[in-house]
A and B are shown apart, each in its own frame.
Chain A
Amino acid sequence: MLFNSIDFAIFLPIVFLLYWFATNKNLKLQNLLIVFASYLFYGWWDWRFLFLILFSTIIDYSVGIRLKKNEYKSKRKGLLWTSILVNLGFLGFFKYYNFFLDSFVTAFSFFGTEIQLNSLNIILPVGISFYTFQTLSYTIDIYKGKLEPTKDFIAFSAFVSFFPQLVAGPIERATNLLPQFYIKRKFEYENISKGLKMMLWGFFMKLVVADRLSLYVESVYGNIDMHSGISLMMATAFFAIQIYCDFGGYSLIAIGCAKLFGFSLMQNFNRPYLSLSFKEFWSRWHISLSTWFRDYLYIPLGGNRKGKIRTNTNLLVTFIVSGLWHGANWTFIIWGALHGLYLVIEKILGNFRIPKILNIIFIFSLTNFAWIFFRASSVEESFKIIRLIFTSSNFDLYIGDKGIFSFSILALLILFINDFISEYYPKLKLFENKSIFVRYLSITFIIIYIIAFGVFDNSQFIYFQF
């Protein structure tokens, strides 16, 4: 089920009312309702893949309990690897099987040996990368002694499948989310009001900004030969905003939606394009994933504890794996490697004293350069785009449909004003303003704006494919 669908608009109030009116006196029943609603939410897309979630849940639940009971190091290690192999096995098969197979065949043909291997027609289960990482964090944390395993299977199932963040995060840690299923949730007006406001802004980001910009990006990236370097540059910058609003919007809706049920999820985006360095960018962009990789890959690899060369290598490896997590394509690996490289160079060179605005533009530009690889369909296409941007003598800017273009610019302007105010003048935030008049006016304006300028074609969120 998509957040930007009528199905969800019907589903959410029903679950909300059942949650607070029918099951509010019994915690177990409330958790059971969450499990049922989450499975319905996921099954709406494809019920067959519910078995994967269920299987993952059973395995990690059992491994968690056994880890607690077992004191032998080798047995504990074995249990941990069972969880890792099962979870990553599913992920590897569904997401990477064809990629590794194709890369294998290409590598052999490069050395002159032709081998015949047939790729499989595999459907990628939505959200598998997200819930796999979430459940993995549970078993790893128990293994490390940071977390007590749960004996409450319903609570654990609800933690794994919690519908607001099931398909595209934020990737929650068991240490933060799981305990919230053990305690009775209170109906708090402030919390729910805040959640609704977050959802509203999330919908604005998705329907008004991301989906509107995608129309332009699609028409340029869909036919790169027909466009000038300047149009490709514009489309890349638009894509940067599109993916921020698409995924940032999703995250806000997810966090807001969780608040409606009394849960608190971690912040996933924090105005990343106002960053002054790449280190700062990665503390503002997809925070739940970058901290996951920091805690479960970068630090176990040695982090920054084993000298400069090892630190930089660890950074590069972490970002290459992060690129691969995003998709089974060399374009994502290069995107990850570029960001790793940016961080390494930043570490080596240190900070320069340049005006703040130039600094922001510089970081944004390099981020855009990396987005070319992320958005292009192949490595060859990425290089072609870069060549066109830097060498094209055609300076005609493609506008396309003037209506779409002008609405895109208008939406960008509103987004920029909001992010600017939130970053530098948080007291002026319109939705949280002291004046009831300003609050109602801004909320009404955004709702009417979404109705008038939103794109209502049930388009998927970009990160669903990861």
Chain B
Amino acid sequence: MKNLFKKILLLIIILITIDFCVGLILNVVLVNSPDGRYFKAEYSLGRSTEDIIVFGSSRAETNYAPYIFEDSLKLTCWNTGRGGQTLPFWYAMEQGILSRYTPKIAIVNVERDFLSDDLSFSYEHSGFLRPFYYNHPEIRTVINKISKFERLLLLSKTYAYNSSFYYLFRPYLIKGLDGDREDNGWKTKHGIIQKSESEPQKYKTNFKLSQNTLELFEIFINDLTNKGCKVYVVVSPNYGHFVESTATINHIKAMKDIKFINFSNDSLFIRNNEYFKDNNHLNVNGAIEFSKHVSNEILKLENKVSTLKQTKNIVQ
């Protein structure tokens, strides 16, 4: 019996030592990441100082070109958007940023029905943030919700990097696959979707809002506005769809302290395949045009002079 416990103890000591060393090495790999998704998240959480911050998922990441906002609003801009992530990730990014400074403007790209989506699945996706658990205590509330034993599992430094290796090491070999570093978080998409011969389809839903999503979204917005950050909530266009109404959009329209910009039914975009890579994501030209229009709307809402002649073309 003694023999067993002695050997188990020895194995545990070896494991703890290796786990600690592996964690240490991987942390160096993480903080020195030359570009890619881990560089972007690390920069967003720990080093960003820009005046304008874009929050959102893949459509935020691809549709908002920071340099356009910088040119027209004369403020610096950083895009924190990340594909496959939703509200818990935006909240984590926000907490990392607000723990250091308050941006002047926050642009939050939302999906037309996102307040009806349940959060439980979104937290699973936030596993992407595990490597930041130790360096960024402000986001632990998000990571701890991934599973009930997450805190316990994260005692292992190696576990924090579970399944992250491919995207962690890839930028050291191939650069720019998750967007060029000089594009400030913007991930450009190239290519054009095939033109649709039919008229844009009407999109109208009235899904019940998810209580936990709604609560987190309100906390997310309040944390920004309470610190004096102006919040613009934007709905991006989808090719071939015009959104008549959704419970999410109706709710956001009624929200105080934020300004709502809706491009989900703008005919300049929804009819123009030249601007889209696929049904949901704008290509590089579409993103530049869209960013110009969003910044134009912000200027108008700020009662400043717009340099853009084109305004929104609403489909009726």
- Alpha-carbon distance between A407 and B148 when the two chains are bound, in angstroms: 25
Q: Are B162 and A453 in contact (CB-based, < 8 A)?
A: yes
Q: Which of B3, B14, B156, B166 contacts A451 (CB 8 A)?
A: B156
Q: Which of A187, A447, A448, A452 contacts B1 (CB 8 A)?
A: A187
Closest CB of chain A to B130's CB: distance in Å?
11
| B-side contacts of A380, CB under 8 Å | none
Q: Are B166 and A444 in contact (CB-based, < 8 A)?
A: no
A285-308 toward B: CB 8 Å interface, digit per residue (1/0)?
000000000000000000000000
- Alpha-carbon distance between A444 and B165 when the two chains are bound, in angstroms: 19
Q: Which of A192, A440, A452, A456 contacts B165 (CB 8 A)?
A: A452
Q: Which of B14, B124, B152, B162 contacts A452 (CB 8 A)?
A: B162
| A-side contacts of B22, CB under 8 Å | 448, 452
A426-463 toward B: CB 8 Å interface, digit per residue (1/0)?
00000000000000100110011001111111100000
Q: Which of A192, A454, A457 contacts B4 (CB 8 A)?
A: A192
Flag whether B201 is at the interface (Cβ < 8 A). Answer: no
A19-31 toward B: CB 8 Å interface, digit per residue (1/0)?
0100000000000
Q: Which of A187, A444, A457 contacts B15 (CB 8 A)?
A: A444
Q: Are A403 and B166 in contact (CB-based, < 8 A)?
A: yes
Q: Are B158 and A451 in contact (CB-based, < 8 A)?
A: yes
| B-side contacts of A189, CB under 8 Å | 1, 3-4
Flag whether A109 is at the interface (Cβ < 8 A). Answer: no
| A-side contacts of B159, CB under 8 Å | 451-452, 456
- Alpha-carbon distance between A189 and B4 when the two chains are bound, in angstroms: 6
The answer to whether A451 and B147 touch (CB under 8 A), given A440-B14, A444-B14, is: no
Q: Are B147 and A458 in contact (CB-based, < 8 A)?
A: yes
| A-side contacts of B14, CB under 8 Å | 440, 444
| A-side contacts of B153, CB under 8 Å | 6, 456
Q: Which of A443, A454, A458 contacts B162 (CB 8 A)?
A: A454
Q: Are A403 and B4 in contact (CB-based, < 8 A)?
A: no
Flag whether A73 is at the interface (Cβ < 8 A). Answer: no
| A-side contacts of B301, CB under 8 Å | none
The answer to whether A451 and B19 touch (CB under 8 A), given A440-B11, A457-B124, A458-B147, is: yes
Closest CB of chain A to B164's CB: distance in Å?
8
* SS of A interface (majority): helix
Q: Are B4 and A193 in contact (CB-based, < 8 A)?
A: yes
- Alpha-carbon distance between A189 and B163 when the two chains are bound, in angstroms: 35
Q: Which A residue sits closest to B156, measured CB to CB? A: A451
Q: Are A6 and B149 in contact (CB-based, < 8 A)?
A: yes
Q: Are A452 and B158 in contact (CB-based, < 8 A)?
A: yes
- Alpha-carbon distance between A20 and B4 when the two chains are bound, in angstroms: 13
| B-side contacts of A456, CB under 8 Å | 147, 153, 159, 162
Count B interface residues, CB 8 Å.
Answer: 26
Q: Are A448 and B163 in contact (CB-based, < 8 A)?
A: no
- Alpha-carbon distance between A454 and B127 when the two chains are bound, in angstroms: 13
| A-side contacts of B1, CB under 8 Å | 20, 187, 189
Flag whether B161 is at the interface (Cβ < 8 A). Answer: yes
- Alpha-carbon distance between A407 and B170 when the two chains are bound, in angstroms: 13
| B-side contacts of A453, CB under 8 Å | 162-163, 165
Among A151-179, those with CB < 8 Å from B are none
Q: Which of B11, B124, B152, B166 contacts A6 (CB 8 A)?
A: B152
- Alpha-carbon distance between A192 and B6 when the two chains are bound, in angstroms: 13
Flag whether B308 is at the interface (Cβ < 8 A). Answer: no
Interface centre among A192, A403, A457, A458 (most CB of B within 10 A): A403
Flag whether A48 is at the interface (Cβ < 8 A). Answer: no
Among B15-48, those with CB < 8 Å from A are 15, 18-19, 22
Q: Are B4 and A444 in contact (CB-based, < 8 A)?
A: no
Flag whether B207 is at the interface (Cβ < 8 A). Answer: no
- Alpha-carbon distance between A403 and B166 when the two chains are bound, in angstroms: 5
| B-side contacts of A144, CB under 8 Å | none
- Alpha-carbon distance between A185 and B165 when the two chains are bound, in angstroms: 45
| A-side contacts of B162, CB under 8 Å | 451-454, 456
Q: Which A residue sits closest to B124, measured CB to CB? A: A457
Residues of A within 8 A of B (CB): 6, 20, 187, 189, 192-193, 402-404, 406-407, 440, 443-444, 447-448, 451-458
Ranked 3 nearest A-B pairs via Cβ: A403-B166, A6-B149, A451-B158
**New A-B pairs, 15, CB < 8 Å, besides A6-B153, A456-B162:** A6-B149, A20-B1, A189-B1, A193-B4, A403-B165, A407-B166, A448-B158, A452-B22, A452-B161, A453-B163, A453-B165, A454-B162, A456-B147, A456-B153, A457-B147
Could you show 11 A-B contacts with beta carbons less than 8 Å apart?
A6-B149, A189-B1, A403-B163, A403-B167, A407-B163, A448-B15, A448-B22, A452-B161, A452-B165, A456-B147, A456-B153
